[in-house]
A and B are shown apart, each in its own frame.
Chain A
């Protein structure tokens, strides 16, 4: 009988240990960026970025399928280095940021690959949710500036018309947009 509480304690400790096998990281806004580019008149690229992004990711290195990723972008923070164009992009012809304030990615399945992770999930933009698969390259953890850090990079190609953007505004600016995500995570 006296052995039972000790056994219970060991089981509890193992359970907690297995729960903590995943490392939780906060999105490091200072050392990350979410950019985008789209064709202009089919002759060049217009580039921009979103300045207000948050997210979390949990990495389980033993069992990658238990890892999770989430990213929330404030559409209002769009920045193309031209204030007038940014105001235009915030309006309903483009992002309609008052109606659809955030752009979100939520992982639904994660698979380990040689250079990182293949993450399936849902991408929500302009009120439309579509399944997407991201190939995240990176994932090596280092310790720097007093925190444990990890970083990933990925690109996502999508069509604005798939996300209910105004078709009348697809022409000068191409339908296809490329979203470039370079994000760093940090934990204590």
Chain B
């Protein structure tokens, strides 16, 4: 079901993205909006296939992330792509969303009953706003795809980590998001040469990329916050996951400040930046897997208990294989 949801999300987003690119061949603004619409429908298809559509009205942090935070952020990015409102209002809109993101996600929970210092909420808001505004602006100017791709990777890692820490649904929801983002980016990639031929050099042939990158960053932020506050995602893992896309763009900024040299070329190379962003993600996955093996692996029967009991337990498991009912495999998969 998970693989079907990820592939379904990616396929729907890629197909709609390609159709959108075809329709808006001579209008980059429309193409930017089409890329975001493709992402939205990819996410909806993926969540539907995963049977994880949010409940209405939203009652949990995950529901509020999917029903309120992400759609509002996408609406702002659609307006940015279409050039409907000025840059000042876009910045202000992103700032408002960033400021309200954490209170909306944690609404009605114990976290807002006095123990969460306002400074933490403000710091989180500042982080979201700065990364959203800064990276989107950079991608708009450079047409760089590495950040968007690393956001896909960070979403996958966030999902795996949240699931391995014990919140299966919270983790699995990340995967269709990543699938839809990857599909929309691929469609946008395919459409790039078309727009370059059409002329508008200022968008670097990638009119949908800034919006998709922003969508990925906001999705990653929301998922990490709910995973940290409602699941068992640790603070260090949360920070490393959020840091990964930034590590993919930071060398680019540093490289621009340096004179032309081998070092500058290295900093700007996509391969180096991908490697740099992958390091924290790989560390997070390794630690999460070790934690899963220690705690939940035994609980769900993936890891045999230690010591002499293991032999007995596996012998018992073999005996039980003969007694499995037709529905037991699906029940095991769901656990």
Contacts and interface: CB of A to CB of B under 8 A. Distances in A.
A168 B1 CA distance: 11
Interface residues of A, number: 22
A104 to B, nearest CB: 15
Contacts of A166: 169
B166 A93 contact: yes
A169 B334 CA distance: 7
Nearest to B171: A93
Given A88-B299, A99-B61, A171 B335 contact: yes
A85 B301 CA distance: 12
A75 to B, nearest CB: 10
A101 interface: yes
A91 B334 contact: no
A146 B229 CA distance: 45
Contacts of B319: none
Nearest to A126: B59
Interface in B158-180: 165-170
B328 A91 contact: no
Contacts of B335: 169, 171-172
Contacts of A41: 328, 331
Interface string A155-185: 0000000001011110110000000000000
Given A84-B295, A96-B60, A99-B108, A168 B334 contact: yes
A131 interface: no
**Interface of chain A: mostly helix, strand, loop or mixed:** loop
B232 interface: yes
B83 interface: no
Contacts of A98: 109-111, 229-230
Interface string B219-233: 000000000011110
Interface string A76-88: 0000001011011
Nearest to B328: A41
A91 B167 contact: yes
B321 interface: no
B230 A99 contact: yes
Contacts of A97: 110
A82 B299 CA distance: 9
Interface centre among A85, A93, A99, A172 (most CB of B within 10 A): A99
Given A84-B298, A87-B166, A92-B231, 16 more contacts: A41-B331, A87-B232, A88-B296, A88-B299, A92-B62, A92-B230, A93-B166, A93-B167, A93-B169, A164-B55, A168-B51, A169-B169, A169-B334, A171-B335, A172-B332, A172-B335
Interface of B: 51-52, 55, 59-62, 108-111, 165-170, 229-232, 295-296, 298-299, 328, 330-332, 334-335
